[in-house]
Amino acid sequence: DADVTQTPRNRITKTGKRIMLECSQTKGHDRMYWYRQDPGLGLRLIYYSFDVKDINKGEISDGYSVSRQAQAKFSLSLESAIPNQTALYFCATSPGGAETQYFGPGTRLLVL
Amino acid sequence: GENVEQHPSTLSVQEGDSAVIKCTYSDSASNYFPWYKQELGKRPQLIIDIRSNVGEKKDQRIAVTLNKTAKHFSLHITETQPEDSAVYFCAGGTSYGKLTFGQGTILTVHP
């Protein structure tokens, strides 16, 4: 679904570095989400935003921060990356509550 | 908060057989239950969803059933094909829009 994009698609970084993952959408949705995917653990919610002025922690927010720069943009930052943050990260959007979430292509992050 | 448990973690079937994946949820306020399919190297995509005012929903070879009393819902795939091989995720959520996902089921359909 080209309407939700993520950059970069792959990233290798070192322990202690600060990195930012970016998500953009052209769907016009108010709601945006960041998930982390690890084998056997499903998709776990890191942060979510229901509009530009609304930011909420998910179940695994420690070590992460987010910024909702505009309706279309939602960025995820790792202030000081650590190896156990190595994972596949997905951004998603939805038009409202109890509605389909549309996922971006994912960012594969490796922290050495 | 909501907790969603999904079983089995892996499922192997022969082409043409049926496959069933089951999920349980904990929050009685949850009223929206989507299922997502994730092919290898791809993003999760919605395949079917059900809301709490409906007991069953079908779309061609796939169906979902919901038992609100027991707090469980299931995905049924009939006449499985090799292209059904993927990871399947169930999820539960409310009108607030936050979903909790199950751990995923790796479905393998053998030709």
Mean local confidence (pLDDT), A31-54? 93
| CB within 8 Å: A42 and B94 | no
Cβ-based neighbour number of residue A2 at 10 Å = 7
pLDDT of residue A105: 97
Confidence at residue B70, expressed as pLDDT on a 0 to 100 scale: 94
Extended strands (E) in A29-101: 31-38, 42-51, 54-57, 64-70, 73-78, 87-94
Per-residue pLDDT at A2: 65
pLDDT exceeds cutoff 80 at A109:
yes
Q: What's the pLDDT score for residue B52?
A: 84
Give chain B's mean pLDDT.
Answer: 94
Q: What is the pLDDT of residue B75?
A: 98
Evaluate whether A27 touches A3 at the Cβ level (below 8 Å).
Answer: yes
Instruction: Give the gap in angstroms from C-alpha A38 to the nearest C-alpha of chain B.
Output: 9
Given a cut of 80, whether residue A14 has pLDDT beyond it is: yes
Task: Name the minimum distance, in Å, from the CA of B36 to any CA of chain A.
Answer: 10
Q: Is the pLDDT of residue A1 over 90?
A: no
Least confident of B27-31, B33-37, B51-55: B51-55
Which residue numbers of B have CB closer than 8 Å to A's CBs?
A: 1, 6, 9, 31-32, 34, 42-46, 49, 51, 89, 91, 93-104
Q: How many CB pairs under 8 A join A and B?
A: 61
| Side chain identity, residue A52 | V
Which tokens in the block code for residue A61? 């927010």
Q: Do B34 and A40 touch (CB under 8 A)?
A: no
Q: What is residue A99's predicted lDDT score, i.e. its pLDDT?
A: 82
Average pLDDT over residues A23-42: 93
Before A8, cis peptide (omega within 30)? yes
For chain A, the average pLDDT equals: 94
Say if strands A10-13 and A107-111 run parallel, antiparallel, or are unpaired. parallel
Q: What percent of chain B has pLDDT over 70?
A: 99
* Residue contact A101–B34, C-beta within 8 A: yes
- Report pLDDT for A46: 97
What's the mean pLDDT in B38-56? 93
Asked if pLDDT for residue B97 goes beyond 70, the answer is no
* Nearest Cα to Cα of residue A103 among A19, A21, A25: A25
